[in-house]
Structure 1
Amino acid sequence: MKNSQVPRVLLVEDDPTSRAFLTAAVEAVPAQVDGADSLAAAMALGASQDYQLWLFDAHLPDGSGIDLLARLRRSHPATPALAHTATGESEVRERLIASGFSEVLVKPLPAAAVRGAIRRLLDLPDCDVPLAAAAIEEAAAPVWDDDTAARALNGNRAHIATLRGLFVQELPNARRSILAAAQLGNLDALRGELHKLRASCGFVGAARLAQAVQVLQAQPDSAQSLERFDRAAQETIDRAE
C-alpha cells in the first residue's frame, strides 16, 4: 500500500485498557482507528466501512476472533488481518494463522511491535528504532514499573498516565470477578479474567500485579496464589498515581 492515503484500521478489543493502548499504537503508524468491544459491534462497523486492515482480539465476550474473521471474509476476502492475544501457546498461534490471520501479536507487547506488524502488512516504511525487551526480576518487581510502561509506549508519558487512570478505574471490577470465580471454582471464568488482566498489566507497567496474575494462571487452585493476587491488586490500587 504505497500511497499517501492514511489507512483505516478496525480494532476489536473488549478490555478498555488494552483497547486504549492499541488505539494509541495504531494511530502512531499513522492510521485511523475504529474501535469495537465485541463481535457484534465489529460486524456492524465492518458492514458500513471498508478497512485496509483488521486487528482482532482472539477472545471476545460474544465469540472469537476466528469467528469474526470468517464472517467478515465473506464480503471482504482480501483485507489483511492481525490477531492479538495474551495467550502465548504455540497451538493457539497455529490455529489463528490457519484461520487466516497473517500474524499473531502476543500481549503485552511494545507499541513499536504493533506498528511494525501493521506496516509490514500494509507495505509501509518502518520508522521505528527496535527496542529491547527487558525482563522483570520477580523478587524485586515494583508495584508500578515506569520503565516498562515507557518502553511499551515509546516514552509517551501522557499516554502512560491516561492508561493507568483507566486501568485503576477498571481494576476493582476485575479483582472482584477473579476472586468470585476462584471461590466458585469456575476455572474457565477465572482463566478468562486473568487472560485479559495480564495484558493490561503489561501496558501500564503494573509489574507486581502482572507477576501475581501469571502465578495464579499457573496455579489456579492455590489459595496462596490467590492471596498473592489479592494483595498485589490492593497494593496497585493503593499506590496509584
Structure 2
Amino acid sequence: MKKILLVEDDHRLSQSVAAALEKDGYTCVPAYDGQMALKAFQQDTYHLVLLDLNLPKMNGIDLCDRFRHMNPAIPILVITAFGDIDSKMEAFETGADDYLVKPFHLKELQAKVKVFLKRAEQPAAAEPVLQLPDIRLDPNKKVAVREGKEIHLTPKEYSLLEYLLRHKKRIISKDELAMNLWDANYGVTHNTIEVYINFLRNKIDKDFDKKLILTKPGFGYYLNDQRDEL
C-alpha cells in the first residue's frame, strides 16, 4: 500500500484530502506543522509528499529543500494558496515536482496523485549516459558531472539540462522548453524560462572557463560542443 505524507495545517482540509485518498486505497499520514512533518519524514518511508507552504514552526519551502536532500527521488506535490509566479518558481527551484493552487477540486488532486504513484511503481529501463566532452549526465542516477565535479541540480534544472543534451544537435526555443518541461496549468512565460536557464548556468557554467549553454538571439538555446555551424 502506498504511503503519503500529507503536510497541511488546516485540519478540516487535511481530513478531507486524507479521506479521498484513503478511499482510493492509499495510506495518508497527516502532519500539521513543519517540525511534525520533518520528524515523520525522518522516521518512515513515503511514496509521495503533499506539502502546504504556509506552515507553523517550519515553512514549506524549507521543508521541501530538506525532503529533497534526504530523498532526491520522492515526488513532492505542493498544495498552497500562494498562486503567484514567484512562489511557484521558488517551489520548483527548491525541488517540487508539481504545484496545485487552493482552492482545488479533490478529483484533480486524486488524478495527480495517481499519476505520480503509477509512474513511481514502473521500473524505468536503463538509459544511456548523455554527454559532451565537458559534461556527463546519467539519467538512471539523475547525476550531472562536469570535469569530474558533481553538480547538484534541482529537478527542474536537471530536466532542462537533460532536454538540451537530448537535443544537442539543434537550437531549442523557449516555447519548446515551456511546452515540454512545464505543466500546461503553470502559465510559464519566456521570462520564467530565462530565469531557470540562468539558475542552470550558475551551476554548470559559472565556475568554468568554457561556457556550455549558449544563446542564439531571437531563436533559443543550444549546447556548446565546439561546432561552428550554429
Q: How high is the TM-score relative to the length of structure 1?
A: 0.47
Higher helix share: 1
Task: Please identify which structure carries the higher strand content.
Answer: 2
Q: Does 1 or 2 have the higher relative contact order (CA < 8 Å, sep 6+)? A: 1
Which of these two proteins has the greater Rg computed from alpha carbons? Answer: 2
